[in-house]
Amino acid sequence: MTAAAVQVLHEHGYRATPQRLLVLAAVGELRHATPEQILAHIHQTSPGVNLSTVYRVLEVLEDVDLVTHAHIGSGSATYHATDGPAHLHFRCGGCGRVQSLPAIIAEPFVQQVRERLGFHADVTHAGIDGRCRECAATQEQP
Ligand SMILES: [Zn+2]
Ligand SMILES: [Zn+2]
Ligand SMILES: [Zn+2]
């Protein structure tokens, strides 16, 4: 992962600084994380890093397509590595749990939108709000 990441950074004219590799490793380990969570993870080994550095590094890593972000619920965006398949996020308004499914299931929807509006929808960029199975079941009871 690191060797490939170093190459990607170089191809885009960026140096593979320790901080960039540190943030990338944290995103990879945490799978889904806000900048604040990434910082907390990094602080376990490197207390010198601050939040604005994490934000700056995430911008670079997104620019070279090593990480991406999604808006799930309120608060900071959630970052993840781009090595996994594209997926949709479903956030429960009751318990806050986030579940995911492959983005491919939204393909008929995306196609309809493209046909009708010529609009290319990025369904992975925002989370979908709703109720998880358990919370929906609780709510239905009188
Ligand atoms: Zn995700
Ligand atoms: Zn965004
Ligand atoms: Zn729930």
Domain locations in the chain as residue ranges = 2-81, 87-140
CATH number at 87-140:
3.30.1490.190
- The predicted-structure confidence for 57-99, as pLDDT tens digits, reads as follows 999 999 999 999 999 988 899 999 888 888 999 999 999 999 9
**Side-chain-facing half-sphere of 119: CA atoms under 13 Å:** 9
* 129 SS3 class: strand
Domain 2-81 part of CATH 1.10.10.10: yes
Contact by Cβ (8 Å): 103, 87: yes
Q: Which helix (H) or strand (E) holds 54?
A: helix 51-63
Q: What is the 78 CA–ligand 3 centroid distance (Å)? A: 19
Q: What is the 125 CA–ligand 2 centroid distance (Å)? A: 6
CA angle 13, 16, 21 (to 5 degrees): 135
* 6 SS3 class: helix
Interacting residues of 7 by C-beta distance below 8 A, sequence separation 6+: none
- The predicted-structure confidence for 17-60, as pLDDT tens digits, reads as follows 999 999 999 999 998 899 999 999 999 999 999 999 999 999 99
Q: What is the 113 CA–ligand 3 centroid distance (Å)? A: 29
pTM for the full predicted model: 0.83
